[in-house]
Structures are given as structure tokens and as C-alpha cells.
Chain A
């Protein structure tokens, strides 16, 4: 178990290292382009060369990469070209906002999708199973920004219930959080529901559930005490792995509702050519993705005794 965790950890660090190298060579291999980005398109060649030598860009590529890596590990990614503040400050602020959105999303997603999945998987082929399955296929098939368009149309333009943007310019507001969370939940719940359903349906056909029913236990007790425990192992992995998918969805939803989070920061940086912010954002995104993979692997092993003891 510890050996497995250590192996995974090493693989994770290796991937982060390779990703950082790709990023660095993609954005900073061409020194003149970096200087052009920092000093603006109208800077002269002399100005750029002066800036490069002042900022230690004369060192060989690998030395620069090592220096950049050393700073990046401590959270120092330099200054944003667009906002003229340290990237780390910007990042912490935006990550907090995205964190709130994600937290509320999970608080709603988990009970909804698990309940629906268990209800559908309890009686395979029943009406409730079919209805839940159809709805989850439909909602998952519609891309986030199409769902967001329909919901905005209804809740903002037709019924005038909710604000159409969530920029939170007048401080935090729950009302502005509703639509983004709703879009994310509608898009994502189908997948978790289907996974839970499959897992639940498989458990319900197993011998020990049949035994429990045959020995006369109340149906409720069979479901709650016997079936759920084993049926929820697979969805756990799926929910943690959602983080990787969620990051893609978050970018779209944040941009749609102008929510000042991580996703809008990344897109603005990409459109502006704010290379230091792009580097930092991508490193954070990849770290979250890889780390959630790690957690899901370890969690799956811990939850499933058949794997833990073999």
C-alpha cells in the first residue's frame, strides 16, 4: 500500500516536471518574444536586449529553466503583464473564488447524483430507472454554454429572477452563484448518476444481497446497510476524477457568467499573451488534475478491501 502510494507520488512528480518543462520551452524558449510580450510590441531591439540581460535571460536555457522551477516551487511566478501585480496574489484570489464555486457545486452534486443513481440502480429496467437514465443522457449531452444559454434565457430574460452575470462587483452574493452552479450540476450529474447506477445494479445482483433479502431483512435495511457500502466505491473514484473534467467546465461557465475565478484568469491571460499567468495557471490546473488522480487511486484502494489486501 505504501509502496503503491510512493510509486504513484513519484510518477506524479515526474509528470509535473515534464509538464513544467514543456510549458517553459513553449513560452520562454524564444527570448526575444518574451521581451516583446513584456515591453510591448513597439519596443526596440536594444530595449529588449537590455531588459533580457537585466533579468537574467542571458543564461543558458537549462539554467533559466532551473531558476524558474526553483521560484515556481515556492509560488513565485513573477509579475502579471496585464495586471502589474505578482501572479501569486492574483492566483490566490481567483482560486478562492473558484474554490467557493466548486465547493457549492459538490455540496449539491453529490447528494443529487448519488440518490438518483441508487434509485435507478435499485430496480434495473423499472420506470424510475428508465426516466432517470434518459434525463441524465439528455442533460450530459448538452454542452455547458448551451445549457447556460437556455437557463439565462429563462431565469434572466423571461422571468427576471436572477442576475445574468456573476462578476460579484458589489461583494459576495449567493444570488449570483445560483446560475453557474446550476449549469455545472446539470451538466455533470448525469455522468456520476450513470456510474452509481451501474455500480448499484451490479451489487444488487450479487449473492449476498440475495441472501440478505431471502433471510427476511427489511428492504430498506438491505439497501442502506448492505448494498450502499459496496455500491459507492466506484462513484467515489468518479467524483474525485470529476475535478479534471470540472476544470474544463469551470473555464466555460466562469467565462459565460463573467465570474472572477481561475478559468477567466486563464482565458484572459491566454487572449492577452500574459505568459507568466498562463504558466502559473496551467501548472496549478495540471497539479489539481494529477493530484485528484492520485487521491482517487489511493482512495479506491483504501475503500476496496479486495485490492487493499492483495
Chain B
């Protein structure tokens, strides 16, 4: 007895558009309450960062009344919703503008680190042999530096600026990304579609960039989420150490550093940026946990 399967030619499964798949992934996240909390925390700060220019905020660098308490009235009739710092700058405005700055630089730095790390990893994993040895050795050299210490030397040598932070984060993160990608590629390169591409006579670069990397994206998304969190911490830490984005523009790390010695009579000016930073990092960690949970379930 044989059953015949009738194929309808017009029912070829179509790959959904990128936007639709992104939306579906968000709905999947609903299954993980931890991930949702993380997503909400991140979205909150992202939205704040995006609409910062539209909000009725004081200029973050404008010097007004120092040491105002939360909700104090401003001289021009407005309100210092979160008070002012020791120089008389509006804390709410500095926190929101600081969020924009840290998010923009962290995203950019992570992106650059990812491009470098993925290229290193895919070359080491796919080509193997001496290319692998060489790339892995370079990665090991940079991995032997403790993260912050590597950042400190680079920033101290090149001088503090956003671009230096990008360089520092790339040197510190790319070797770790390289290790992950290399491991994934070693597994993927034995798959049939890679042999098919090789038989077709595709160039190694085509195979690496078009066949291998897109298929390694799953675990990388979780890692990228965590790493974005680390980068935010690194930028804030450098700011705290006095090696971050140059003042007077708001930087959460520097805000904390300046406020702590004065905490006895202006506690809010040190708690608030610390809480902002903690909530954003917590968001990244929870989202990564949630993503991992959801991806393991399928």
C-alpha cells in the first residue's frame, strides 16, 4: 500500500521577512519571564536614549543650583526631578544623556570587536593549519591580559576618547569572540553544505563569509547580548577610573566617582547613576539568560 503525497507547487515554504522573524523571536521571549524583565529594562534605556533630545530636560552641562534634593524647585519655575549634583547640574538630564552616550559607544565598540573577532575566528577555524596557530597565538597573548588592565594600558597610551575605548574593547573582546567562532566553525565545516560549496568551486572567502558565519549566528546572539553588557561596564569602569569619555559630557562612571566623596550630604547624586548602571547591566544579563533558556528549549 502506498500513499501518494500531492505536492502543490505554489506552496513552497517561504523564508519570512527579517522584521517578521524578529517579531516572532520577541514573542518567543514571552516564555521566559527573566528574559522579558531584561528586555524591558534594556528597552527602557534605549527609548530614553533615543528620545533624549525631545524630552523637556535641562542642558546636562548647564550649571545651576548645587546640591538640590530630589524634586526641588528650579529657579526658572521648573523642577529638578532627581535633584542636582555638586556642580549644580540636573541629575535626571545627565543620567538620560549619559545613557545615550554609553549605549551608542558600547554598541559601536561591540560591533567593531565582533567584526574583528568573527573574521579571526572564521579564518582560524576554516583554514586551520598555520593560520589557526597564528591567530590562536595572537588571541592567547591578548587573553592573558586582565580585561581592565588591557583597557587601562591602551587608553593611557592613546589618550582618553571614544575611539580609544573602541580600540581597547576590540583588543580585549575580539580574542574571546574569536574563540567562540572558531569552535562553532570547527563543528560547522564538516557539514554537507560546506562540501557542496567546495565542490561547486566557491572561494574560501565566499564559504567563510556566506556559508559559515550566517550559520554560526545562534550562539553568537546570546554572547553579543552578554558582551554588550560587559562593554557598558567597561566604559563605565574606565569613566570611573578617570580614563573614560572626556568631561564635562555626562558619563555614568564619572558621575559616580565625583559623587561618592560627597555622599554624606548628597546621597542621591551617587545612588542614582549607580542604580541606572546596575539596572542596564542587569537587563543585558537577564536577557542573555532568557535567550539561552529559550534557545535551549527548542
Interface residues of A (CB under 8 A from B): 11, 14-15, 18-19, 22-23, 26-27, 137-138, 140-143, 145-146, 149-150, 152-153, 156-158, 164, 244-245, 247-248, 251-252, 255-256, 266-267, 270-271, 273, 278, 281-282, 285-286, 289-290, 293
Q: Are B281 and A143 in contact (CB-based, < 8 A)? A: yes
Shortest Cβ-Cβ A-B pairs, 3 listed: A270-B156, A248-B148, A247-B146
| Contact pattern, B 143-166, Cβ under 8 Å of A = 1, otherwise 0 | 011111100110111000000000
| A289, B175: Cα distance in complex, Å | 15
| A281, B147: Cα distance in complex, Å | 14
Q: Are A141 and B281 in contact (CB-based, < 8 A)? A: yes
Q: Are B271 and A248 in contact (CB-based, < 8 A)? A: no
| A282, B153: Cα distance in complex, Å | 8
Across the interface, name the chain A residue whose C-beta is closest to B277. A146
Residue among A11, A146, A152 having the largest count of chain B Cβ atoms under 10 Å: A146
Question: Which residues of B have CB within 8 Å of A157?
Answer: 263-264, 267
- How far apart are B104's CB and chain A's nearest CB, in angstroms? 19
User: Given A251-B241, A270-B243, A285-B146, do A26 and B157 touch, yes or no (CB 8 Å)?
Assistant: yes
Q: Which of B145, B153, B263, B284 contacts A270 (CB 8 A)?
A: B153
Q: Are A278 and B260 in contact (CB-based, < 8 A)? A: no
Q: Are A142 and B145 in contact (CB-based, < 8 A)? A: no
Q: Which of A26, A141, A285 contacts B149 (CB 8 A)?
A: A285
Q: Are B144 and A137 in contact (CB-based, < 8 A)? A: no
Q: Which of B148, B157, B264 contacts A251 (CB 8 A)?
A: B148
User: Given A156-B263, A278-B156, do A252 and B241 touch, yes or no (CB 8 Å)?
Assistant: yes
Question: Which residues B164-201 have CB closer than 8 A to chain A?
Answer: none
Question: Which residues of A have CB within 8 Å of B260?
Answer: 149, 152, 256
- How far apart are A294's CB and chain B's nearest CB, in angstroms? 11
Question: Which residues of B have CB within 8 Å of A145?
Answer: 236-237, 240, 253, 256-257, 274
- How far apart are A242's CB and chain B's nearest CB, in angstroms? 11
Question: Which residues of A have CB within 8 Å of B152?
Answer: 251, 266-267, 270
Question: Which residues B263-279 have CB closer than 8 A to chain A?
Answer: 263-264, 267, 270-271, 274-275, 277-278
| A14, B147: Cα distance in complex, Å | 20
| A286, B149: Cα distance in complex, Å | 9
Interface band, chain B = 35 or more
Q: Are B274 and A267 in contact (CB-based, < 8 A)? A: no
Question: Could you tell me the dominant secondary structure of chain A's interface residues?
Answer: helix
| A153, B229: Cα distance in complex, Å | 25
| A273, B159: Cα distance in complex, Å | 11
| A251, B281: Cα distance in complex, Å | 20
Q: Are B153 and A143 in contact (CB-based, < 8 A)? A: no
| A247, B241: Cα distance in complex, Å | 15
Across the interface, name the chain A residue whose C-beta is closest to B232. A143
Q: Are B241 and A141 in contact (CB-based, < 8 A)? A: no
Question: Could you tell me the dominant secondary structure of chain B's interface residues?
Answer: helix
Q: Which of B141, B148, B274, B281 contacts A19 (CB 8 A)?
A: B141
| A26, B277: Cα distance in complex, Å | 33
Q: Are B156 and A289 in contact (CB-based, < 8 A)? A: no
Across the interface, name the chain A residue whose C-beta is closest to B266. A157
| A309, B271: Cα distance in complex, Å | 54
Q: Which of B144, B237, B282 contacts A252 (CB 8 A)?
A: B237
Q: Are A244 and B146 in contact (CB-based, < 8 A)? A: yes
Please name 12 further chain A to chain B contacts, defined as beta carbons within 8 Å, in addition to the given A150-B271, A248-B149, A252-B241, sorted by A numbering: A11-B140, A141-B285, A143-B236, A143-B237, A145-B253, A153-B271, A156-B263, A245-B147, A247-B149, A251-B148, A251-B241, A285-B145
| A281, B153: Cα distance in complex, Å | 10
**20 A–B pairs (Cβ distance < 8 Å), ordered by A:** A19-B145, A26-B157, A137-B289, A140-B285, A141-B281, A143-B277, A145-B237, A149-B271, A152-B260, A153-B263, A153-B271, A164-B263, A252-B240, A266-B149, A267-B152, A267-B242, A270-B243, A278-B156, A285-B145, A290-B144
Question: Which residues of B have CB within 8 Å of A244?
Answer: 146
| A245, B240: Cα distance in complex, Å | 18
Residue among B146, B155, B267 having the largest count of chain A Cβ atoms under 10 Å: B146
